[in-house]
Structure 1
Amino acid sequence: MSDVDLRKLRYFVAVAEHLHFGRAAEQLFIAQPVLSRQIRALEEELGAQLFARDRRGTALTAAGEQLLADARPLLAAAEALQRRVIRAVEGTQRFTVGFMPGLIVTAAVRTLTERHPGLTVDLVRTGWFDQVEVVHDGRVDVSVVRLPVDPHGLVVRPLYTEPRVVVLPADHRLAGKDAVAVGDLADEHLLQDPDTVPEWSAVATELGTDRPAVPVFHSVEEKLEHVAAGRGVMFLPLSVMTFYTRPDIAYVPVPDLAPLQVSLAWSSVRPVPLAEEFALLAAQ
């Protein structure tokens, strides 16, 4: 078997994510016939059919599913390698920290730079969808994350926990309370994955009420807009409450919700100097 071409793997991942050769070709800025030839070449090199194509569309085969699972971390590792080489060429000593909205890393960053003169610490804001992706692809050395995350390929070091609050429209019947119970919110429309709030899911299921589909959001800002418009409620970490203040929403503590775990994550497949030291500083 010949060595796998990373370019072909990128082409494969694009088709696998779109399940449409035309859209994948547009994303890759190549002609569709060229993309089809590259995928056929990859299938010949691997000795396996990766896609099943018929009148209904394109689907991954079992071999394709396996390759997709393996290709993503491999491509991420290749990108991380390229970034590290560029750093070495530049001759700069850099340490990059990813952080979620509401999580403050200033004290740890200051102490680290004081301990290591000449070190440049860069900061990258992350979100729920890329808080560990930035570690895998090398954009950051460490990432301050909120669990749960997929621990595959990571070292995950607990830092601390933080309580959660419910976010309500300012004119909501419970908006002026000092605290509310999860049961008080059982009949509300939840604007997030119910699996992330099992305490709410348990009491909501008991009511047996049909629930509308949960919208797909890509940022906290989008979620807060929907809450302010009266379309539902959501649960957020307490630190996010201090990060986003606005007059048309209210934050109310929910004592019977389990706190969220904040951790530091870094790659387990490549050395990350200073990761352990930063973890100790961030936990203080």
Structure 2
Amino acid sequence: MGATDLDLRKVRYFVAVAEHRSFVRAAEALHIAQPVLSRQIRSLEHDLKATLFDRDTKGTRLTAAGEVLLEEALSLLAAADAARRRVRDAAAGSRRFTVGFTPGVSIAPAVREFAARHADVSVEVLRMDFVHRADSVRDGQVDVGYLRLPVRTHGLSIEPLFSEPRVVELPTGHRLAQRATVRIAELRAERMLLDDVAQPRDGSPASPEEHTERPVLAARSIEELLEHVAAGRGVVVVPLSTALYFARPDITHVVIEDLDPSHVCLAWRSSRRDALIREYIDIARRTASARRLGGNGTVSDHSSFDTMHGRD
């Protein structure tokens, strides 16, 4: 689905109705008459040859087709806004390049080298949302983003950078806190605070298209999850660099010896063909190749990622 296939105004109207769950409230928010809004939605349904809403006495609900369109529409509209911003920047004679990052992944060497090469480009960094991190890349908020797999890669191209061990975060008084390593079977009785589809190495790896890490508790960040760990409400499996980045005295981490490593990749929208993106990818891969961690593990290159995903 591309911007040329749909009238973006109709798509914006559709999103308003979907979010308000009411044609009346959506029309008020859009400052248009309700009959006009209804005609635009019917026109969009005609364009797509699909019914998007079910309307009855209980209200307005999305159909299955409407649910799919809403997921696509949010990214589509954000991408259109990002495109307009890039065009305005170019017309004004300025260029901006935004790098999305995940806490614990070092981006400074690549950003520093890239910025030194392009004094005419405003190089910015943006911390991506903990749960919906891939959306920042997909909707154009960032030009490239450092992502940890598994994550939905629909609409994205990815370049593997490195892999690292995964560890379990435990309260310091936990029965396993003094161990050098643990096996995943030893954690079966624990309450896992992240639904990260953890699999031992002898199991089938989860597809990055099918799964994403989701907090079991209502948590918007790693920091909030670690508060639950410290309070004894459960444990969480994270990459080693994340544990080191968020180190605190009331929590310790132990390497899980039989769990697949965490794979870090660089992602960008598949439709983008910018020379700056390709240059940044080259710099990021080179600066990441020698990256090592102190403490309980080592970051490796992407060979295990290639094996896991069938890449040559």
One-letter amino acid matched to 1:42: I
1:166–1:234 Cα contact (<8 Å) kept: yes
One-letter amino acid matched to 2:257: P
Unaligned runs of 5+ in 1: 203-212
**SS in structure 2 of the partner of residue 199 of structure 1:** coil
CA-CA distance at 1:123 after TM superposition = 0.6
d(CA) in 2 for partners of 1:134, 1:68: 16
TM-score by length of 2: 0.76
For residue 265 of structure 2, what is the aligned residue in structure 1? 263
2:200–2:259 Cα contact (<8 Å) kept: yes
d(CA) in 1 for partners of 2:244, 2:38: 49
2:130–2:222 Cα contact (<8 Å) kept: no
For residue 9 of structure 2, what is the aligned residue in structure 1? 7
One-letter amino acid matched to 1:38: L
Identical-residue share of aligned pairs (%): 45
Alignment partner of 1:234 out of 233, 236, 239: 236
Unaligned runs of 5+ in 2: 204-214, 288-312
2:166–2:240 Cα contact (<8 Å) kept: yes
d(CA) in 1 for partners of 2:24, 2:230: 35
d(CA) in 1 for partners of 2:250, 2:54: 50
Structural mapping, 1:271-282, within 5 Å: 271-282=273-284
One-letter amino acid matched to 1:92: S
For residue 200 of structure 2, what is the aligned residue in structure 1? 199
Q: How many residues align?
A: 267
For residue 151 of structure 1, what is the aligned residue in structure 2? 153
- Change in 2 beyond 3 A, CA 1:90/1:242: farther
One-letter amino acid matched to 2:37: Q
2:76–2:139 Cα contact (<8 Å) kept: no
**SS in structure 2 of the partner of residue 274 of structure 1:** helix
CA-CA distance at 1:278 after TM superposition = 1.7
2:23–2:37 Cα contact (<8 Å) kept: no
Structural mapping, 1:92-241, within 5 Å: 92-195=94-197, 197-199=198-200, 214-241=216-243
d(CA) in 2 for partners of 1:190, 1:34: 49
Please say which of residues 173-182 and 64-73 is displaced more in the overlay: 64-73
1:167–1:236 Cα contact (<8 Å) kept: yes
CA-CA distance at 1:191 after TM superposition = 0.5
For residue 46 of structure 1, what is the aligned residue in structure 2? 45
TM-score by length of 1: 0.83
**SS in structure 2 of the partner of residue 156 of structure 1:** strand
d(CA) in 1 for partners of 2:78, 2:164: 31
One-letter amino acid matched to 1:46: E
Give CA-to-partner distance per residue, 1:240-281, whole Å, 9 cap, x none: 112112122111111211101100011111323222222222
For residue 79 of structure 2, what is the aligned residue in structure 1? 77
